[in-house]
Amino acid sequence: MRTNLGLFLQKRAQLSPRLEALVEVERGRRFSYAELDARANRVGHALLAQGIRPGDRVALLLGNGVEYVETYFALAKIGAVMVPLNWRLVPDELAFIVGDAGALALVHDAEFDGAAAALLSADTPLRVSLRVGGGGGPAGSLDYGALRDAAPAAPHPCQAGEGDLLFVMYTSGTTGLPKGAMHTHGTMAAASVTINMTSDQRYGDRYLQLLPLFHVGALTPVTAAFHRGATIVMMRAFDPARVFAVIQEERITTGLAVPAMLNFMLAAGKPEAHDHSSLRWLMSGAAPVPPALIERYAELGIEIHQVYGLTESCGPACLISPDAALAKVGSTGPAFFHTDVRVVDEAGRDVAPGAIGEVIVRGAHVMKGYWNRPDATAEAIRDGWLHTGDLATVDADGFVYIRDRKKDMIITGGENVYPAEVEAVLARHPDVLECAVIGMPSARWGESPAAVVVARPGARLEPAALIAFCGGKLARYKLPRVVELVEEIPRNPTGKVLKRVLRERFPGPAPE
């Protein structure tokens, strides 16, 4: 069988046609593997009829739902390339990604009509717009559902293989401009295999999908679950008060939630009031999981398996196993089954146990490179190893402990925020002389962006006004929650901002 992710769905539909593939919690819709595969075939034919060809990029501005999943597999089947869009971004941010990727088509939900209209009127290459939710919406948009339902359900010839692009997923860069990580059918297939060979994923499992599908931390586990023959139970929006009820009602066995979600679920979900005996484990990543949180879930009989990964690795890097989750609290585990992970010094030598070094990753699931960024690709991938920039220690048993994060990246509620992106917006304020953005601990979000600002001589800055200035220029989760006014920002002799000093000076916590 050719390595094409669309054929993975087709094969699963042949093997398990009546097995439930997808459940939409809020809408109450349920689809078997046979039904999902037929819908993906119809979407593929509809896209081909609109002139989409192998290699063309198609942007998705969709919430969680069957339309996202069927379009993903449809694009794989016809050899087109998906560009997932984070619907939390503002139109200017989205327009950069669409333009940089050269996306020719946009598939969007009706609830994002405003952003879609802005993209279609901006200077982007978009020439086709399919709207989920009926007719209307931005001028020129076509009715996605009507086109899908009118198209044939027959399979179409496979148009892509292992080395062809499957998706380009944008991750914010330290320069403030996002970079598109290129993943192929082969890298995603390898990610699925290493996940299924490492985690306790079983045929017939019921996997709770809480994260938005524009994240690799959602798209890759969902793909792996379909590959294995599991059922995806999908919440369109994370509702912490409902999660444990859904676990009971749908007999959930596995899932993934970032630490902030796990906190919210305990606070709002009343776990003791619901039967969660079906739940074997939840993975958690995107930020270190506090040991107290792991232990609290252990008291409920729920194993939390900390995972470490990156967009550039299609997700997998390290995973802690069930038997070590409490014995090695604070560790993200050793490498996945088909993955190599090392912690090295500046000369590329393995560090001694307990010494801090950089995490590097190797495996068939590592990205092909960054879209149109050979310079950034050469910097990130050297001698076959992905250099993450993340700092960690490793113990004598090979268990990795993440100590610091990639180039001062802030993770707030599971979303990545790169300080340089926020700093670039703050620097546009006429009264800001210089600034630095750090992560400040937050009981609610894990971390929140905090801005340290020096005013121009004679200027008077108001923190609230400065935060308001950033509104509309950045997604809401990227906005500073705190502004600290200082006379000078500490730097080293080469001029680099000493963010460690700033974090010590402003330890937080951030306001809720």
pLDDT in tens, 226-238: 999 999 999 999 9
Instruction: Count CB neighbours of 359 within 10 A.
Output: 26
Domain boundaries, the chain: 1-18+33-161, 333-407, 408-505
**Per residue in 135-144, is it b (16+ CB within 10 Å) or e — as a string?**
eebbeebbbb
CA distance 68 to 33: 15
Determine contact, residues 120/106, Cβ cutoff 8 Å. Answer: yes
- CATH superfamily for domain 333-407: Luciferase; Domain 3 (2.30.38.10)
CA distance 356 to 345: 8
State both tokens at 410: 């802030």
Tallying the residues shown for the chain, one arrives at 512
> Phi/psi of residue 410, each to 5°?
-105, 135
Q: For residue 176, which of 404, 377, 407 has the smallest C-alpha distance?
A: 407
State both tokens at 371: 């879209």
pLDDT in tens, 333-387: 999 999 999 999 999 999 999 998 999 999 999 999 999 999 999 999 999 999 9
Determine contact, residues 501/490, Cβ cutoff 8 Å. Answer: yes
Q: For residue 312, which of 395, 409, 198, 204 has the smallest C-alpha distance?
A: 409
Residue 166 confidence (pLDDT) above 50: yes
- Which residue type occupies 342? R
Burial class of residue 434 in the structure, from the number of CB atoms within 10 Å of its CB (0-12 exposed, 13-18 middle, 19+ buried) = middle
CA atoms within 13 A on the CB side of 197: 12
Beta strands in 293-414 (DSSP E): 303-308, 318-319, 340-344, 357-362, 369-370, 381-382, 385-394, 400-404, 410-412
Residue 298 confidence (pLDDT) above 60: yes
> Which run of H or of E encompasses 274?
none
Burial class of residue 346 in the structure, from the number of CB atoms within 10 Å of its CB (0-12 exposed, 13-18 middle, 19+ buried) = exposed
> Phi/psi of residue 240, each to 5°?
-60, -30
Torsion sign across C-alpha atoms 427, 432, 436, 440: negative
Determine contact, residues 250/23, Cβ cutoff 8 Å. Answer: yes
Residue 471 per-residue DSSP state: B
Determine contact, residues 128/71, Cβ cutoff 8 Å. Answer: no
Work out the average pLDDT over 428-441: 91
Torsion sign across C-alpha atoms 455, 458, 463, 469: negative
CA distance 438 to 461: 19
pLDDT in tens, 217-228: 999 999 999 999
Q: For residue 421, which of 491, 498, 478 has the smallest C-alpha distance?
A: 478
pLDDT bin (cut points 50, 70, 90) of residue 144 is very high
> Phi/psi of residue 49, each to 5°?
-65, -25
Q: What is the pTM of this model?
A: 0.87
Q: Does domain 408-505 have CATH number 3.90.180.10?
A: no
Work out the average pLDDT over 413-437: 87
Phi-psi region for residue 25, left (φ > 0), alpha (ψ -120 to 50) or beta?
A: alpha
Residue 174 confidence (pLDDT) above 60: no
CATH number listed for the domain at residues 1-18+33-161? 3.40.50.12780
> Which run of H or of E encompasses 474?
none
- Please give the pLDDT value at position 495: 60
State both tokens at 173: 């860069």
pLDDT bin (cut points 50, 70, 90) of residue 404 is low
Residue 267 per-residue DSSP state: H
pLDDT bin (cut points 50, 70, 90) of residue 497 is confident
- Please give the pLDDT value at position 286: 79
For residues 103, 108, 112, 116, the Cα torsion angle rounded to the nearest 10 degrees is 40
CA 81 from chain center: how many Å? 17
Determine contact, residues 395/355, Cβ cutoff 8 Å. Answer: no
Q: Which residues pair with 393 in a beta bridge?
A: 401
Helix-helix angle 463-470:419-426, to 10 degrees: 110
Torsion sign across C-alpha atoms 16, 17, 22, 28: negative
**Among 5-9, 12-16, 495-499, whose mean pLDDT is lowest?**
495-499
Instruction: Count CB neighbours of 163 within 10 A.
Output: 11
Mean pLDDT (the chain) is: 93
Residue 496 confidence (pLDDT) above 70: no
- Which residue type occupies 194? T
